[in-house]
Each structure stands twice: as C-alpha cells, then as structure tokens.
Amino acid sequence: MNPFQFTRATTPKAAISAITKESGTYFLAGGTNLIDLMKREVIIPERLVDINKLPLATIEKTASGLRIGAMAKNSAVADHELVKKHFPLLSMALNAGASAQLRNMATVGGNLMQRTRCSYFYDTSMPCNKRGPVQAGPDKGKPNGPSGCGAIGGFNRMHAIFGSSSKCIAVHPSDMCIALAALDATVNVSGPKGDRRIPFSEFHRLPGELPQKDNTLLPGELILSVDLPTNRFADHSHYLKIRDRASYAFALVSVGVGLDMKGGMIQDVRLAMGGVAHKPWRLFEAEQFLKGKEATEVNFKQAAALAMKDAKGYGENDFKLTLAPNSIIDALKTATKTA
Amino acid sequence: MAQNEHPGDELEMPDASRRHFLKQSSALAALALAPTAAVKAVDTGWDQKIAAAFEQLPLQVTINGTVQNVSIEPRVTLLDLLREQLHLTGTKKGCDHGQCGACTVHVDGQRVNACLTLAMTTEGSNVTTIEGLATNDHGATARLHPMQEAFIKHDGFQCGYCTPGQIMSAVACIREGHADSPEEVREYMSGNICRCGAYANIVEAIMEVKQGGKKV
Ligand SMILES: Cc1cc2nc3c(=O)[nH]c(=O)nc-3n(C[C@H](O)[C@H](O)[C@H](O)COP(=O)(O)OP(=O)(O)OC[C@H]3O[C@@H](n4cnc5c(N)ncnc54)[C@H](O)[C@@H]3O)c2cc1C
Ligand code: SF4
Ligand code: FES
Ligand code: FES
C-alpha cells in the first residue's frame, strides 16, 4: 500500500473541511472497500480522514419512520429490532451481503459508496473508463495503458443488462442498496455548501458519458444518515439473491420485494433489482402493473416481462436475460406467501 | 505547513510535527547525496512520500489484555501489526483482501478481518487474537477454550492454516446468537474459507459447544 497521511475527525464539520481542503483526501469508514482498493492501487489517496469517531451510528425512530446513521455497522442495522420488525427487507438484504466479519466492519455510508466489482476496474493493467488511467509513485496520474472499457467484448458475465452506456457496463454491487431503493429511502448529506436530502433513486447514477462518477454526491459531501419512511410491506417482504455459491459472493441477480396485501390482492408493491445496472434498479412499470391486481403467477409473469422490456445482454451475461425475470417471479411468489 | 491550520481539536493530526522532523532528517539527507535524484524527488513530491514512508505514529491498543504502546506507519494493517511487530503469528494472512477469514480477530468483542482494518483505527480498543483465547496460557493450569477443545475433538482442521480464524469466528458466532442450527452456523461461518474442506467437522464442533451450554 502506498503511504498516506492519517487524520482523525471527531465532528462532521471537521471531516468535511479536511476533505475539502486538499485533493486526494478520502473518508475512511469501515475500510472494507477503500483499504482493499488501496492495496491494489486502484485508489491512491494522499490523505485519509478517519470518520469512525463521528457520532453518526445511531438508529432511531422518527415521526415519519426510521433514521439510520451513516456510521451504523451493517450487522448492527441487520440485527436491530426496529429494522427486523418494520423493514425486514433491509435486514434480509444486509444479511445476504459479504460475511459476518465484514458486516461488523462495513458502515451504511461506506456501503452506499462502494465501488463496482468489475474485474477490469480492479486490474490496473487493464483498460477501464471508470477507474481511468492510474499510475503509482512519481508518475502518479500519468496515462498508464490503454483507455476504454475492457468488459465490453471481454469477460462480462457479472455485468449490466439495463441502463449501460458505450463507456461502461458495470453494476453497482450492493445488496443493502437494493432494499433502500425499494423502500424509498432518502440520503441525508452535509457538505461545504450546507445540508441536503437526496431521494434514493437520485443518489446513484447511470454511467452515460461519465462512468467515473458512481453517484451524485458533490465533492466534500459527507453522508450523515439514511431515512426510511413507514410502510405496510413488513408482512410480505423478500430478498432473493442468486450467486455462484450459497453465501459470501456478490449477486449475479438479486430482487427485493415488498408487498402490501389484502386477501389475494396487491394493494401496493415495491420492486428493485441488483446485479443488473450501474445503480439499484427500481422496476417502476412492473410495480404500476401489479398495483390493484391479484397475486397470481400469470400476473407475476406479465410484470416480469414488462420489467425486462429494455434489457440488453453483452454476450457472457446473456443468461441474465432469463435469470432476471425468473428471479422476479420467484421473489414475488415467496413474498406473497410470507407473513 | 497547511496541515497546522486545522480547526482546533476536532481534527487530530498526530503526524504533523513528526513529518516535519522527518523531512529534515537522515533519510532525506541520504537521498540528497545523489543530487539529481534529490532534485527530481522534490519536483514530484517524492520527498513527502519518503518522509511519510518513514513516518511512525503513536498507537495505544490493548491486545489480549496487555496494553501495547507502539509506533506504526498509518498504512499498517492490524494484521501486519500483530504478526510483524508484535510477533503474534497465530492470526494468519490468507488472501489479505477480506475474502478468506484467516485473519479473523475480535475488536471490542466483534469479529473482524484484521487484513482490512487499519491498525490506527483500533486506538483505545481491546483486541483478542487466538493467543488470547485460552485461559492462563502459561504454566500447568493452562486451559484451552472450549471451542479449541471441540475443534481438536471433532478434527475441525487438516493443515490448520484457517483454524485460528475459524475458531475466533466460531466463538463470536455463538456469542452473537447465530448458532441455533447447523444451517445458521454454515451461513454465519461463511466468511471463513477452509481449503482443506473441514467444514462438516467445524460445524459439528460449533454445535457441540453451543449445545454444551458452557460460557464461551
Ligand atoms: C470479500 C468481500 C465480499 C463482499 N461481499 C459483498 C456482498 O455480497 N454484498 C454487498 O453488498 N457488499 C459486499 N461487500 C462490500 C461491502 O459491503 C463494502 O465494502 C462495505 O459496505 C463498505 O463499507 P465501509 O464502511 O467498509 O466503507 P469504506 O471502505 O471505509 O469506504 C468506502 C468508500 O465510501 C466512502 N465513504 C465512507 N463513508 C462515507 C460517508 N459517511 N460519506 C461519504 N463517503 C463515505 C469512503 O471515502 C470510500 O471511498 C464485500 C466486500 C468484500 C471485501
Ligand atoms: S464496465 Fe465500467 S468498470 Fe468495468 S471495465 Fe468497463 S468502464 Fe471499467
Ligand atoms: S487474510 Fe484477511 S480475509 Fe483473508
Ligand atoms: S484446515 Fe487447511 S485450510 Fe482449513
């Protein structure tokens, strides 16, 4: 790992001013993504601001739902009584991610900010528009190898089928974020220009012409917390994760479902998918279709077909074109039955 | 230096004076003996880098009950601190990237991967490694932890490389309340990979300790 300066912040304000002052400065939360990327020289910070001492780890009831601090550990959130009772989808998604050890380290803020697991992004000898050319040592920042996207026309079985661009076809790897997308979360941030609230669907972005940018956070902004509005999905929630082994692997495809059922009727529904796009992928059309309908396999199939309308494979990931709709149907069936 | 303009005590800069001192000190003096190299070094900011590389920050952390006051570079992981500096080599380095669990230790009672933990973030914490699990581990009254005994009884290993991590993880798994069934144990132990495939026996060992009801 390259050397860097280390500082510790005890207030959000100090953390924000430290990161704003000098370029090449990064917040350090659990470190499970950042330290990994630093060891591989994908990211070479000049300075780390340790934010682990910030008082941002509380999980508390609010007038409109639940507020989860950015520094709350993934395991603490997954095991929290209020989360398990009122937002079981979030518990399920968190517990489907990483390992028990990593969940004890990983924070909510860091999970939102984690980078893609595209193997070209990780391999600094390979072309990647998202990583950009990186070079360690005295020649830092100078072009290093070819630019372009290695995954297009390369090994891309983990990659996107929705919303990709000719610049990047990577997926956002988070499980937690699929639940937050389905549950209409809001991200509270603070920065040099003050505080703002970002609706979850606007937090992550599609790659477009700027694949370097994963999200809409502005330079110097610190995530403070995530708000979840109260909902009626607790009795019929399910997170289905399909992966190469039974546990401790990233999703090929995942589906988060929340249903509000009355008799056999779907009063309201939330659907989001992971492993398929550069951002957590909400299935708005499928939701619209299912609202007010009966919870039948025929309807689930039609909803899945609607969700897949604009899907596009890149060769090795073509299997997702079949796996994704089947997963949607499966997750909906399971969510209907749970209670 | 700009570093000194930090807002009061809210941003701790344990390195500022040290860095300044080191910049003047012998490491860089040696470099200056080769004039062109030195000029290039200053140009590229490489002198800063070298100062940082030699930079040691103070850290106080309690490891297996003993308070340790050490000096480390900020880039040292908890795993490297344990193994290279404190010679506690029970904790193993497998992948060094959070993917195998061989480096599992407890920080303030929570199991974590020491390979992705910067040692500096453990300031003021209590760390327990496999060396600290047995009670009274010197002399005739030394006693293994029940989990260590169960691993021996059930052959919970072959080569033994993953074993310290498995045992630290297993103890935490029971303490967390995630060992109510073999299925739950398999899921909550999935962060520990065993290349020898001793999984079946590991699950048996954990279930026995759990069902034995002893305090772990
Ligand atoms: C082997 C392995 C397997 C994994 N498997 C899964 C999986 O199956 N599913 C899954 O979802 N994830 C998985 N993960 C990823 C894991 O969830 C993330 O690494 C973790 O959530 C990151 O959180 P952190 O606190 O450790 O972040 P850090 O590594 O500390 O930080 C990550 C980034 O976020 C920034 N950041 C952190 N906090 C804030 C904040 N409050 N405001 C602004 N920026 C911030 C940092 O500057 C950094 O750039 C896996 C990781 C590993 C190593
Ligand atoms: S898919 Fe994106 S992250 Fe992967 S190589 Fe292409 S540009 Fe890089
Ligand atoms: S060495 Fe830490 S997880 Fe493999
Ligand atoms: S006993 Fe050999 S790796 Fe587990």
Q: How far apart are CA A265 and CA A268, in angstroms?
A: 9
Hey, what domains does chain B have and what are their CATH numbers? 57-132 (3.10.20.30), 146-212 (1.10.150.120)
**In terms of C-beta distances under 8 Å and separation of at least 24 residues, what long-range contacts does B83-92 make, across chains too?**
B88/B63, B88/B64, B88/B129, B88/B131, B90/B129, B90/B130, B90/B131, B90/B164, B91/B129, B91/B130, B91/B164, B91/B165, B92/B161, B92/B162, B92/B164, B92/B165
User: A36 and B116 in contact by Cβ < 8 A?
Assistant: yes
Q: Are strands A59-62 and A186-191 parallel, antiparallel or unpaired?
A: unpaired
The average confidence (pLDDT) of chain B is 84
Per-residue confidence (pLDDT) for residue A147, from 0 to 100: 75
pLDDT tens-digit series, residues A38-53: 999 999 999 999 999 9
Chain A segment 71-90 residues within 8 A of B by beta carbon are 73, 75
Please give the distance, rounded to the nearest whole angstrom, from the Cα atom of residue B191 to the centre of ligand 3: 9
B122/A contact by beta carbon, under 8 A:
no
Please give the distance, rounded to the nearest whole angstrom, from the Cα atom of residue B63 to the centre of ligand 4: 25
> What is the pTM for the complete model shown?
0.92
Per-residue confidence (pLDDT) for residue B27, from 0 to 100: 41
State which ligand 2 atom lies nearest to the alpha carbon of A160.
Answer: 1
pLDDT tens-digit series, residues A162-179: 999 999 999 999 999 999
**Residue B170 per-residue DSSP state:** H
Would you place residue B98 in the very low, low, confident or very high pLDDT band (cuts 50, 70, 90)? very high
Interface test with A, best of B5, B42, B112 (most A CBs within 10 A): B112
Q: What is the 3-state secondary structure of chain A?
A: CCCCEEEEECCHHHHHHHHHHCCCEEEECCCCCHHHHHHCCCCCCCEEEECCCCCCCCEEEECCEEEEECCCEHHHHHCCHHHHHHCHHHHHHHHCCCCHHHHHHCEHHHHHHCCCCCHHHHCCCCCCCCCCCCCCHHHCCCCCCCCCCCCCCCCCCCCCCCCCCCCCCCCCCCCHHHHHHHCCCEEEEEECCEEEEEEHHHCECCCCCCCCCCECCCCCCEEEEEEEECCCCHHHEEEEEECCCCCCCCCCEEEEEEEEEECCEEEEEEEEEECCCCCCEECHHHHHHHCCCECCHHHHHHHHHHHCCCCCCCCCCCCHHHHHHHHHHHHHHHHHHCC
Residues in chain A within 8 Å Cβ distance of B14: 6-8
A225 Rama sector, left if φ>0, alpha if ψ -120 to 50, beta otherwise: beta
Per-residue confidence (pLDDT) for residue B28, from 0 to 100: 40
Question: Helix, strand, or coil here: B34?
Answer: coil
Q: How far is B144 from chain A (nearest CA, A)?
A: 23
The highest-level CATH class for domain A1-51+58-339 is alpha beta
Per-residue confidence (pLDDT) for residue B50, from 0 to 100: 57
pLDDT tens-digit series, residues A255-276: 999 999 999 999 999 999 999 9
Torsion of CA A214, A13, A185, A304, to 10 degrees: 10
Q: How far apart are CA B110 and CA B178, in angstroms?
A: 13
Is the ipTM above a cut-off of 0.90?
yes
Would you place residue A23 in the very low, low, confident or very high pLDDT band (cuts 50, 70, 90)? confident
Per-residue confidence (pLDDT) for residue A22, from 0 to 100: 87
Residue A203 has pLDDT above 80, yes or no: yes
**Which of A270, A191, A246 lies closest to A224 in space, CA to CA?**
A191
Q: How far apart are CA A336 and CA B17, in angstroms?
A: 63
Q: How far apart are CA B148 and CA B137, in angstroms?
A: 13
| Nearest residue of chain A to residue B13 (CA atoms) | A7
**Residue B61 per-residue DSSP state:** E
CB distance A222 to A12 below 8 Å? yes
CA B58 remoteness from chain centre: 17
pLDDT tens-digit series, residues B2-40: 333 334 456 665 544 444 444 434 444 444 444 444 444
- Residues of chain A with pLDDT > 70, as a percent, come to 96
**Which of B103, B122, B93 lies closest to B169 in space, CA to CA?**
B103
Q: How many CB atoms lie within 10 A of CB B99?
A: 18
Chain B segment 102-121 residues within 8 A of A by beta carbon are 104, 110-113, 116-118, 120-121
Listed by start position, the domains of chain A span 1-51+58-339
Per-residue confidence (pLDDT) for residue B21, from 0 to 100: 40
Nearest to A4 among B74, B77, B113 (CB): B74
Per-residue confidence (pLDDT) for residue B18, from 0 to 100: 45
Ligand 4 in reach of B81 Cβ (< 6 A): no
User: B111 and A5 in contact by Cβ < 8 A?
Assistant: no
**A309-338 average pLDDT score:** 97
What are residue A6's DSSP bridge partners? A48
Residues in chain A within 8 Å Cβ distance of B19: 5
Q: Which residue has the tokens 């004890």?
A: A104
- Residues of chain A with pLDDT > 90, as a percent, come to 93
Would you place residue A140 in the very low, low, confident or very high pLDDT band (cuts 50, 70, 90)? low
Would you place residue B176 in the very low, low, confident or very high pLDDT band (cuts 50, 70, 90)? very high
Q: How far apart are CA A66 and CA A68, in angstroms?
A: 7
**A113-127 average pLDDT score:** 95
Mutate to test the pocket of ligand 2, among A117, A118, A152, A162 (most ligand atoms within 8 A of CB): A118
